[in-house]
Chain A
Amino acid sequence: GEDVEQSLFLSVREGDSSVINCTYTDSSSTYLYWYKQEPGAGLQLLTYIFSNMDMKQDQRLTVLLNKKDKHLSLRIADTQTGDSAIYFCAESIPTGANNLFFGTGTRLTVIP
């Protein structure tokens, strides 16, 4: 079955870069997503990458995909206190419903 794993916690200092990692098991993933969840809120789509891409950059966000190792990472440059949240990676598998399989989330804490 599908299994998406993330480390639970990450702390960085304001202005540093953050790197959040994710591993997944299903090689048939079509798209991989990063969502952000602030306390008491729903999920905000940050970015996504198609499975045949290696890298995608979007302003302060850089997504790296190593399909061979089934490893996905999200780098946030110049991390700000407003980036403190839980970050979820999710994979989309073409099972008909294209539902998302989520990791357990990484709680990012930015220290001023």
Chain B
Amino acid sequence: ETGVTQSPTHLIKTRGQQVTLRCSSQSGHNTVSWYQQALGQGPQFIFQYYREEENGRGNFPPRFSGLQFPNYSSELNVNALELDDSALYLCASSSPGTGITDTQYFGPGTRLTVL
């Protein structure tokens, strides 16, 4: 069984630029959630995708957007980068309705630094 993978591992951008982060969900999982983890903080929910549709969103501005593809992989796009966007971006996959829980399994994250 393949776990959640994310790319790239690290990324450095400058203010105003745009970035795309990628996530492959765990085998058999159809739901992907994205979280932002600032240094010294717990992860904060950005949004979730289920069957290619956005299925809930946290308190993040519209310049944070996403996509989910038919194979359930996902992208997080951030436009007009700001210094405060520097963080570890975590992707988690789950499979709602499997009877146990919507337990989310996390990838290793992408460390984004905005200069």
A–B pairs, 24, beta carbons within 8 Å = A31-B102, A41-B109, A42-B6, A42-B106, A43-B43, A43-B90, A43-B92, A43-B106, A44-B106, A45-B105, A48-B101, A50-B101, A88-B43, A92-B102, A96-B55, A97-B33, A97-B47, A97-B55, A98-B102, A100-B33, A101-B45, A102-B44, A105-B41, A105-B42
Known contacts A35-B106, A43-B90, A99-B56; decide if A104 and B42 are in contact (CB<8 Å).
yes
Q: How large is the interface on B (under 10, 10 to 19, 20 to 34, 35 or more residues)?
A: 20 to 34
Give the contacting residue for B45; candidates A40, A50, A100; CB below 8 A: A100
Q: Does A4 contact B (CB under 8 A)?
A: yes
Tell me which residues across on chain B come within 8 A of A31, comparing CB atoms: 101-103
Tell me which residues across on chain A come within 8 A of B66, comparing CB atoms: none
Main secondary structure of the interface of A (DSSP, over half): strand
Contact B45 A42 (CB under 8 A): no
Tell me which residues across on chain A come within 8 A of B111, comparing CB atoms: 40
- In the assembly, what is the distance between CA of A73 and CA of B33, in Å? 26
Known contacts A43-B90, A104-B41, A104-B42; decide if A99 and B33 are in contact (CB<8 Å).
yes
Contact A42 B33 (CB under 8 A): no
Q: Which residue of B lies closest to A101 (CB)?
A: B45
- In the assembly, what is the distance between CA of A4 and CA of B41, in Å? 12
Q: Does A24 contact B (CB under 8 A)?
A: no
Apart from the given pairs A30-B101, A99-B45, 4 other A-B contacts in the complex at a CB distance below 8 Å: A31-B101, A48-B101, A97-B45, A97-B48
Q: How far is the CB of B103 from chain A (nearest CB, A)?
A: 6
- In the assembly, what is the distance between CA of A43 and CA of B111, in Å? 14
Contact A41 B108 (CB under 8 A): yes
- In the assembly, what is the distance between CA of A59 and CA of B90, in Å? 28
